[in-house]
Amino acid sequence: MSLDADHPAAAIPGNESSILIVGAGQAGLFTAEKLRANGFAGSLTLIGDEPDAPYQRPPLSKAYLLGELERDRLKLKAEDWYAKNRIALRLGTRVASIDRARQCVCLADGTMLAYDRLVLATGATARKLPQAISRGLAGIFTIRTLADIDALRPALETNGKLLVVGGGYIGLEIAAVARGLGMTVDVVEASDRPLARVASAETARAVEDLHRSRGVTFHLGKAVSELLGADRVTGARLGDGTIIAADVVVAGIGGMPQTTLAAEAGFAIDNGIAADAYGRTGDPFIWAAGDCANFSLPGGGLRMESVGNAIDSADLVARNIMGARQPYKPKPWFWSDQFDLKLQIAGLSRPGDTVVVRQGAGSGRSHWYYREGQFVAVDGLNAPRDYLIGKRLLAVSASPDPAQVADPVLALEALASSK
């Protein structure tokens, strides 16, 4: 770490110290938990702007929306956990500003809270359709918070018509849920394929085929120019003039890191809050974790919106605040549930990577990605064994022989010992 060992910010915070965490999502909560696990005994406050105690977001667009998971079970911790761990939880609380010189934050109600260390875990927000397109109509939703889903759920009715704007993971997960509910589903995506920025062409094609086979209609390479309706949305006009009827619209057009607070406090913002490989921002007393943080790593900046990143970067920041001095070694992984497909991804593939397909015995298959001959990522499509073996190989930078990977007769176990 570039910080001098005798700088006050390099000292391990003790009993008299106060740590504030802004953002009570999975990264914020996990930072608090790990600070305690790493021996921090001082005052610990977790501040969240949502009314709900920290909860799991991934099931929102899947099991929770389907009604298969009760609201209470989304909670990451029992109510008494916070008191037991001496973590002050301030919900429904917005931080208005950070006074870095005086080391305190100002809450929206004017309360000032002093800190010795501050962790920004402000997360991301769902990008909304521009006003020129949405025109203030009712029946348009985004997917990020529990409140978003609670608002959307009553609008999803059997025989209803859902229009999903954006063919990313959120949009496709919602599309699958809505088809399961018996709705008509149209997906409009500006690229020529779904998952264009977040999955390989091979994986995207398989997912697209699945959705088509289940009755989802894609409008690829097209954009919504205007949503139609007087008060409530009744449909959409696309750029090519196509009219699509819809009584519910979900915008799944990406997330934006929540950086307003950090920007106003004078931090460098570059696709998120700039942090070094240890998770420290430009202010040595202030750290960043989770969706909002863009970590400066040897291979370039890395910002990821995923639970894995929330947990790993929170763990990193908590350990480093407590003196570990370890750089971030991300192990990117993602998953998505759509219809009966479980997609599991380890590593980060890029356009131009060589793709090796391994066909499983049943419906399962996996896609293995190579860059300059080195194995860099794996996608398992209902292929958990392939995925886990690939993930394990990635962890040790091993590179299995592509010919062996492609050989469906060769037992996967043989690959597990690849160098």
Partner 1 sequence: MPTIRFLLADGAELAVEAESGRTLMETALENSVPGIIAECNGSAACATCHVVLPEDIMSALGPISEHENDMLDFAEAPREPGSRLSCQIRVSDALDNVSVRIPAA
Q: Which residue has the tokens 């406090």?
A: 265
The stretch near partner 1 (CB under 8 A) out of 135-143, 170-178, 237-245, 333-341 is 333-341
Closer CB to partner 1, 322 or 416, in the complex? 416
Q: Least distance (Å) from partner 1 to the CB of residue 305? A: 14
Taking CB under 8 A as the rule, does residue 58 contact partner 1?
yes
The stretch near partner 1 (CB under 8 A) out of 15-23, 77-85, 258-266, 292-300 is 77-85
Taking CB under 8 A as the rule, does residue 342 contact partner 1?
yes
- Applying CB under 8 A, what is the total number of residues that bind partner 1? 29
Taking CB under 8 A as the rule, does residue 32 contact partner 1?
no
Taking CB under 8 A as the rule, does residue 39 contact partner 1?
no
Q: Which of 1, 3, 38, 59 binds partner 1 (CB under 8 A)?
A: 59
Taking CB under 8 A as the rule, does residue 389 contact partner 1?
yes
Closer CB to partner 1, 33 or 291, in the complex? 33
Q: Are strands 124-126 and 255-257 parallel, antiparallel or unpaired?
A: antiparallel
Closer CB to partner 1, 88 or 220, in the complex? 88
Give the integer Cα–Cα distance in Å for 387 and 335.
Answer: 11
Q: Which of 27, 31, 33, 248 binds partner 1 (CB under 8 A)?
A: 33
Q: Which amino acid is at 128?
A: K
The stretch near partner 1 (CB under 8 A) out of 195-203, 206-214, 330-338, 403-411 is 330-338
Q: Which of 268, 388, 398, 410 binds partner 1 (CB under 8 A)?
A: 388
Q: Which of 52, 237, 392, 401 binds partner 1 (CB under 8 A)?
A: 392
Q: Least distance (Å) from partner 1 to the CB of residue 161? A: 28
Give the integer Cα–Cα distance in Å for 50 and 24.
Answer: 8
Q: Least distance (Å) from partner 1 to the CB of residue 274? A: 25
Taking CB under 8 A as the rule, does residue 173 contact partner 1?
no
Phi and psi at residue 330, to the nearest 5°: -65, 145
Closer CB to partner 1, 56 or 97, in the complex? 56
Site mask, partner 1, residues 78-117, x = CB under 8 A? Answer: x--x---x--------------------------------
Taking CB under 8 A as the rule, does residue 76 contact partner 1?
yes
Query: How many residues belong to the chain?
Result: 419
Q: Which of 237, 285, 335, 357 binds partner 1 (CB under 8 A)?
A: 335
Taking CB under 8 A as the rule, does residue 49 contact partner 1?
no
Cβ-contact 390, 378 below 8 angstroms: yes
Binding stretches for partner 1 (CB under 8 A): 33, 37, 56, 58-59, 62-63, 73, 75-78, 81, 85, 307-308, 311, 333, 335, 337, 342, 344, 382, 384-385, 388-389, 392, 416
